[in-house]
Structure 1
Amino acid sequence: MKWKLSTERLILEPFTEDLTEKTAELAGDREVAAATFVPHPYTVDHAKEWIAAHAAWMEEQTAFPFAVKRKEDGELLGTMTLRVDQGHQKGELAYWMGRPYWGRGYASEAAQRVVRFGFEELQLNRIWAAAISSNPASTRVMQKAGLTYEGTLKKDMLHRGEFKDIDVYGRIRESSSRSM
């Protein structure tokens, strides 16, 4: 497979159609939606449409939505996506993990690998990510991936009927030589 990454515990590879139902199950969890920008309810049709778009995005190198799977059993845990702005040589890290897999370091491990992929393989100059300020777990993932706090956008996103503050983290290639 052209775009396949790995870590000590994980395989990151393109989503396949057979992951549609599991994607809908994990992303459709109300608590996942509350902590992220995933729409709720999130249905099998949403997952099917999203997965169907991936091949074109990856071919055009505009986005790399990786299925995050556990090496030991191939279980789908969530996604780690790098959306690429080629004109500005930057990428946005976006992710969610299924609730049963929260707190186990999977998101941080996957984020570190995708950040390295962005800098080393795609030669991006900058990688950034954003999280709802009330989601400290997502902030920790960004920090463990080597991104640093850049600021808070006050009442920036209308999320589930309420304007939420958004924390922005980023990293430029010059600082990417630190070990991850």
Structure 2
Amino acid sequence: MAALPRIEGEGFVLRPWQAADLDSLVLHANDEAVSRTVSDRFPFPYTKQDAEEFLHEPAKPPAIVLAIEIDGVAVGGIDVRPGAAEFRIGGEIGYWLARRYWGRGIMSRVVACWCRYLFAEHGFERLQAAVFANNPGSARVLEKAGFQREGILRRAVIKHGRILDLWMYAMLRSAPTNSKQSARDD
């Protein structure tokens, strides 16, 4: 497998997770508000054992999973899971960020930077993301990063006992992000 990238952005770095991130990962991931916005693969409460298991193997190839570092500390994560077979020209991104960094425009810049990298270095034609309908903040992140809402999967998921719609967003290589606009909008 190729070495994982280190990508410097405006106020953040995307880099491989490290064993030294253990305490920060537990601190920032063990937040019920974060848990409400992500897949059930991301447990709550998020324990030291969960973090150790994740850091041992953040993802199985071909997925790429990176830490979001701000001021030298891992405070979130971003990934891509490439499609298979006839869907191999696309990938699905996912992300999370420590609550203390919400509302600052950071995640829109991270997503825009990540997508530019994925289009340039991995040849994707399409990137997509799914958002729980109870997470309009994530929808705004994607829209500011250049994604368009393509549809709604009605009553598609259950999260914390609630059945929710799933909003589907996508960005095409032919319509890449405009990170300067995203940064101004935040």
Q: TM-score, normalised by structure 2?
A: 0.86
Return the letter of the residue paired with 1:12: L
Return the letter of the residue paired with 1:74: G
Q: Which residue is equivalent to 1:149? A: 149
Distance across 2 between alignment mates of 1:164 and 1:13: 32
Q: Which residue is equivalent to 1:120? A: 120
SS at 2:46's partner residue?
coil
Return the letter of the residue paired with 2:111: A
Return the letter of the residue paired with 2:66: F
Q: Which residue is equivalent to 1:4? A: 6
Aligned alpha-carbon RMSD (Å)? 1.6
Distance across 1 between alignment mates of 2:91 and 2:129: 8
Structure 2 regions of 5+ residues with no counterpart? 180-186
Report deviation, 1:111: 0.5
Per-residue displacement from partner, 1:13-52 (whole Å, max 9, x unpaired)?
0000111221122111011112222321111111221222
**Is 1:162 paired with 2:162?**
yes
**Is 1:78 paired with 2:82?**
no
**Is 1:32 paired with 2:31?**
no
Per-residue displacement from partner, 1:70-112 (whole Å, max 9, x unpaired)?
1xx3122211111222532211110111111111111111111
Distance across 2 between alignment mates of 1:135 and 1:179: 23
Alignment of 1:58-97 (within 5 A): 60=61, 62-70=62-70, 73-87=71-85, 88-97=88-97
**Is 1:48 paired with 2:52?**
yes
Distance across 2 between alignment mates of 1:164 and 1:123: 33
Q: Which residue is equivalent to 1:133? A: 133
**Is 1:175 paired with 2:175?**
yes
Aligned 8 A contact 1:80 1:107 in 2: no
Distance across 2 between alignment mates of 1:48 and 1:145: 32
Return the letter of the residue paired with 2:51: A
Aligned 8 A contact 2:4 2:16 in 1: no
Distance across 1 between alignment mates of 2:123 and 2:160: 36
Return the letter of the residue paired with 1:8: E
Q: After TM superposition, which residue ranges in structure 1, 4 or more long, deviate above 3 angstroms?
A: none
Distance across 2 between alignment mates of 1:95 and 1:179: 19
Aligned 8 A contact 1:91 1:118 in 2: no
Per-residue displacement from partner, 1:140-174 (whole Å, max 9, x unpaired)?
11112211001111111111122111111001212
Residues paired across the two proteins, number: 173
